Amino acid sequence: MRTAIAFTGAMAVMVLIAGCVTTEGEYDGGSTGEEKLAGSLSELFEQALDDETNPFVIDVLDRAIETGKIAQEDYDEAHRLYRVCMSDAGYEESYEQLANGSYKIAPPALDGQEAVEEYMSVGSDCSDELAPVESLFILQQGNPDLLADPEQVVVQCLNEAGLVGADYTAEDFREDRDARFQQAPYDPMSAEAQECFSNAGFSISVGE
């Protein structure tokens, strides 16, 4: 059985090369307890706007601050710009829209580490609009309590979906993940579990 774990989105693409799993992302292991990322979504949008220079992203954030959320159509347009850029660069990715409205990216076949690194570099260059919009959009859609620990976001969602009991913890989730979910009290590939994973920014695939 093989378990592949990455983060959803353009800046965190999972690449399988010769049976190995390579992941790229900026997750630092998460926080503990009930730490919050901010007091509100609008506060996060305003913080992001302070450091933003991309005109498209600035317009999206201005609208989000006014309405209280990033609109699906704004996220979709950011993703379209990314797809066009990657296609123009010669990459044929495939995309699956998840229940939270975001897209899971499946990379093309890549031959060797050099090709992987080039692909990741191009993906980064093509994500100027998508990366900042997507990170906030996924947070908005799947983490309304703004929990700082993505693993706690998964646990809360699994509990609300009735897949685990109230005594299931983030440590339990880490242990199940490390054990490839062989003893997990739920099917990690079920639609409900997959939605919980994607809500926290994870892309988890379990197979033979």
pLDDT, tens digit, 9 for 90 and up, residues 162-189: 999 999 999 999 999 999 999 999 999 9
Work out the average pLDDT over 199-204. 84
**87 neighbors 138 (Cβ within 8 angstroms):** no
Distance in Å from the first CA to the final CA of the chain = 4
**177 neighbors 204 (Cβ within 8 angstroms):** yes
pLDDT score of 24: 32
Give alpha helix (H) positions in the chain.
Answer: 41-50, 55-67, 72-88, 113-125, 130-142, 150-160, 170-178, 191-199
Residue 137: exposure state from Cβ atoms within 10 A (0-12, 13-18, ≥19): buried
pLDDT digits (tens, 9 = 90+) for 116-164: 999 999 999 999 999 999 999 999 998 989 999 999 999 999 999 999 9
**Count of structural domains, the chain:** 1
Say if residue 2's pLDDT is above 60. no
Dihedral sign, Cα of residue 72, residue 75, residue 79, residue 80 = positive
pLDDT score of 163: 97
Query: What DSSP string describes 121-147?
Result: HHHHHTTTTHHHHHHHHHHHHH-TT-B
pLDDT-derived band at 207 (thresholds 50, 70, 90) equals low
Full residue range of the structural domain in which residue 110 is found: 2-207
Mean pLDDT across the chain: 84
Question: Residue 2 is encoded by which pair of tokens?
Answer: 């093989």
pLDDT score of 9: 54
Q: Greater confidence, 70 or 97?
A: 70
Dihedral sign, Cα of residue 155, residue 192, residue 29, residue 47 = negative
| Count of beta carbons in the 10 Å neighbourhood of residue 123 | 24
The four Cα atoms 187, 190, 193, 199 give a dihedral, to 10 degrees, of 150
Say if residue 6's pLDDT is above 50. no
